[in-house]
Structure 1
Amino acid sequence: MSNSIEDDSFSKPVGRWSVYCYGVGHMLNDITSACWFTYLLLFLTEIGLSSRDAAIVMLSGQIADGLATVFFGELIDRFGHFKIWHSAGAILVAVSFSSVFGGCIPCKLLSSFSTIVETVSYSTFAAIFNVGWAATQVSHMSMVSCITLNSTSRVVLASCRNAFTMVANLSLYGIAFIVFEVIRAETRADIENQYRWIAYLSIFIGCCFVGVFYLGTKEPRSKTGIHGDIHARISWTYWFLKILYYQVAIVYMLTRLVLNVSQAYLAFYVIDDLQMAQSSKALVPAIIYICSFVVSILLQEIAWKEQRLKAYYTAGGILWIFCGIAIILLPQSMSLFVYAISIFIGIANALMTVTAVSMQNVLIGQDLNGCAFVCGSLSFLDKISCGLTLFVLQSFHSKFTVIYELLES
């Protein structure tokens, strides 16, 4: 009798408060990730690192993140305790992130600001930050499948999480806008001071929301089956025999690739190509995330089935293609139109992200004891592909810059 009552509650829709508390649990990761992808390359090149060295720092972090996601996924499936892994990762993120944007600490200790020392220093802290980030991400993402078996509630949880991702991004750009306006960057020390304040305030806001998550979210079950019996841990080879695993992996990897790479180069685009004001590198991303936030909230009110997930994802992909074409063709004289394009990018981002994450839960289904490995392995593909792509793009940018300077001279 008790098992049937538990199973019934496990299949019922999740309450609003529980959805909210779960949704804010990734805020620290989201706000630091937004800063990572939006400003890291810009920050490193502004303080004097070459495009290639900046790409090495980014790649070291992405590789560490990718490897750690698979490792933590296996450990979480083996031992459970989602909230313990989440808290350990959050602590590591909070401690290490300020060092990524806080200036080269080893350089000061060694009294050497050589390029090699700076690159190694930033790469080390980037790797540490991303290891903590991976622990929090995998534990938080894999919790969805263990909180409920209700398909609509799983999408609602993913949608709420995505909505607070937008809140995190908006918080970052609000902080960045104020900091860029108040602190003028005339020297390297000023630039480091700008980003140091952005990092400190981001960590503070993220930690406040994570505290709400710990207080309002119960540790979900992972070892108990839907009929109350204990299931054996699922081997990772089980997933590699499913065609759906590869389909979802491609969808998720490409989605994250589009979002992360576009976010990384958006600030360069509005400043270097469109020659817009410094404040635009905060305003344009803010518009994108306001629109994504609104769409994510609206998506929570829809009853979801697999076919509807595919339809909405396709719509988001098509919309992004048109936005990409518009960005390529947009002349500098019509730079203000980038704000209109940003609206549609925000809509496309929400449609693709919510549905791509929800497809993971369709793949997992009721195989709860392998959910962390699925999330970890898909994130591995995301991080490695993104890191390599950014490294290649930055390397080409570095070569083209040298050629351009030679031609100018």
Structure 2
Amino acid sequence: MEVSEFTPTCSIIQKLSFGLGHVFNDLCAAMWFSYTLFYLHVVLNISSTTAGTLLMIGQIVDSIATPLAGWAMDRHGDKKAWHFAGTVAVALGFSLLFSLKPIELTASVLTYYLLSIALFQVGWAIVQIAHLSIIPDISRNHRHSSDLTAIRYTASVCCSISVYLITWLVLQTGDGTAIGPNDFYKFKEIALVIVFIGILASLLFYCGLLGTFESEGYEVITDDVNNLNTTNHDKHFLKQSIIYMVALTYVASRLFTILNLIYIPLYLEERGSLEIVNKDKIRETIATIPLVCYVASFLTSICLKCRGRCCPDKVTYLIGGTIGLVTSIWLGSGISPGSDSELYAVAIFLGISGSSTMIASLCLTASFVKTNGYGGGLVYSVVTFTDKLISGVVVLLVQNLQCSPKSLCPHYYEHVLSYICGLVSLVGLISLVLLEIEIRRNGRLKRNLEYINT
């Protein structure tokens, strides 16, 4: 394959506009994973099992919609048109999810929540795949695609920070009461603010990418990208083992982040119930601990954008995965009662780990698409399919395994964050090792083929 030189011409405005394209999804995802289970269980008084089932159904719908969206985008229509349709579905579904306060949980109420969640998740999947598949279309080389990925992740982190700041401001009461059913309208207010900001960001995205250059693609191969080049382009990518290694690194990274988002608020509430703590302090930490986590992610993403060639994607993932594993072990060993400094330190390391592994895995996926010339929508849908399905199943299992009454397992969510998240980090590191082995095997095969041809 010939190597062509090209100087990227993508303007700063277009890069920033691209970063805004997933803001609505990221705002909703921060709320969905951090507070939806908490909202259903604590505010609406829905049982733990039912709340977990609703969350799992949402993930299943998302996982089914993802490959269908990728397949449809690679064959029919403009990706920006798909993005717009998904944005409308996200706005409607997410608004409806936080708009009903049921007196009792009837079949009609459950149907309402299921339809709202399904609409939201289908729209979310469409927007995600449309936005991801734009990266290989507009990137000029590996560095450019890495920049777009870092910008995308930085925007995601900023969205999560915004959600936690909004939550912190809205939930504060100063009356010392615990969070409960009376806070329904506060969560509804948070959701409506998120929808407004998300729609505004999406409009700026469409305006900034008007006349984008999807048909002007140039293929640039660097040494780091060429490592993911396969030896047989006649094979469908689903028949090549390297795509599964890349997907597994992404799944591990995403699952680690999702589990921390979901269970940190529940862990903090659990920790507060075991200690004599002012209820206002619990309200504060439920917002500030995730906030600190995402500030660390934000700073890490900025550092990774400037890393250059001194820290390639696989090394970045190795460092981030190791930090995640060590932090999970730290949580499992127990944090000193009343030690806020340890909590914030754990949050910082979780943020560093999630940011490093997520950016590295997305860069590896973009490299695979770019070097092998496959349709971005279908590849990204395959890569993201498993994490959505697995995360829903894991959440359902965790919720079903919870003790009843809770007093029988007072450290349940602490063990979830330590043991399960630690296992996920370990799986990610193992997948990275398998990926490196496969890359070296491909390199040997390629050299043998070149020798035979000469």
1:225-274 CA-partner distances (Å, limit 9, x unpaired): 648xxxxxxx9971112221011011011111100011100101112125
For residue 83 of structure 2, what is the aligned residue in structure 1?
A: 86
Q: How far apart are the structure 1 equivalents of 2:321 and 2:87?
A: 32
The one-letter code matched in structure 2 to 1:179 is V
Q: Is the 8 A contact 2:293 2:351 kept in 1?
A: yes
1:242-261 equivalences under 5 Å are 242-261=240-259
1:152 to 143, 152, 160: 143
2:226 alignment counterpart? none
Distance in 2 between the 1:378 and 1:183 partners? 45
Point out the structure with the larger helix share.
Answer: 1
Instruction: Answer yes or no: is the 8 Å Cα contact 1:77–1:369 preserved in 2.
Output: no
Does 1:21 find its partner at 2:17? Answer: yes
Structure 1 residue 176 displacement after superposition: 0.3
Structure 2 CA distance for partners of 1:15 and 1:33, relative to 1, 3 Å: same
Please report how far the alpha carbon of residue 90 of structure 1 lies from its aligned counterpart in structure 2 after TM superposition: 0.7
Identity of aligned residues (%): 25
Whether the aligned pair in 1 keeps the contact of 2:289 and 2:344 (CA below 8 Å) is yes
- The answer to whether the aligner puts 1:102 opposite 2:99 as a matched pair is yes
Q: Which moved more, 1:218-227 or 1:135-144?
A: 218-227
5+ residue gaps, structure 2, are: 220-232, 274-280, 411-454
Partner in structure 2 of residue 263 of structure 1: 261
In the alignment, structure 1 residue 193 sits paired with structure 2 residue 189: no
Q: Residue 142 in 1 paired to residue 133 in 2?
A: yes
Residue identity opposite 1:127 in structure 2:
A
Equivalent in 199, 205, 212 of residue 207 of structure 1: 199
Given that 2:140 and 2:217 are in contact with CA atoms closer than 8 Å, whether structure 1 keeps it comes out as no
Match of 2:162 among 149, 171, 192: 171
Of 124, 127, 130, the residue aligned with 1:133 is: 124
Please, what is the CA RMSD of the aligned residues?
2.6
- Kindly report which structure 2 residues correspond to 1:373-388, keeping only aligned pairs within 5 A, or say none: 373-388=378-393
SS in 1 for 2:306: coil
Is 1:30 equivalent to 2:34 in the alignment? no
Preserved contact between residue 274 and residue 335 of structure 1 (Cα < 8 Å) = no
Question: Cα gap change, 1:188/1:285 in structure 2, threshold over 3 Å: closer, same or farther?
Answer: closer
Equivalent of residue 322 in structure 1, options 321, 326, 330? 326
Gap change, CA 1:297 and 1:374, over 3 Å in 2: same
8 Å Cα contact 1:327/1:338 also seen in 2: no
Q: State the match for 1:359 in structure 2.
A: 364
2:43 aligned with 1:66 = no
TM-score by length of 1: 0.87
Identify if the C-alpha distance between structure 1 residues 24 and 309 changes in structure 2 by more than 3 Å, giving closer, same or farther: same
Q: Tell me, in whole angstroms, the C-alpha distance in 2 between the residues paired with 1:23 and 1:236.
A: 34
CA distance 1:373–1:57, change in 2 (3 Å):
same
Distance 1:222 1:45, change over 3 A: same
TM-score (norm 2): 0.79
Cα displacement string for residues 329-358 of structure 1 (whole angstroms, at most 9, x for unaligned residues): 213232441012211211111111111111
Correspondence for 1:231: none
1:103 offset after TM fit, Å?
1.9
Give the superposition deviation at 1:190.
Answer: 2.5
Secondary structure at the residue paired with 1:278? helix
Report the equivalent of 1:393. 398
Shift of 1:183: 9.1
Question: Residue 333 in 1 paired to residue 338 in 2?
Answer: yes
Say if 1:50 and 1:398, in contact at 8 Å, map to a contact too. no
Query: 1:187 Cα shift?
Result: 8.9
Residue 339 of structure 2 aligns to a residue whose secondary structure is: helix
Residue of structure 2 in register with 1:3 after alignment: none
- Contact 1:13-1:153 at 8 Å conserved across structures: no
Query: What is the CA–CA distance in structure 2 between the aligned matches of 1:398 and 1:123, rounded to whole Å?
Result: 26
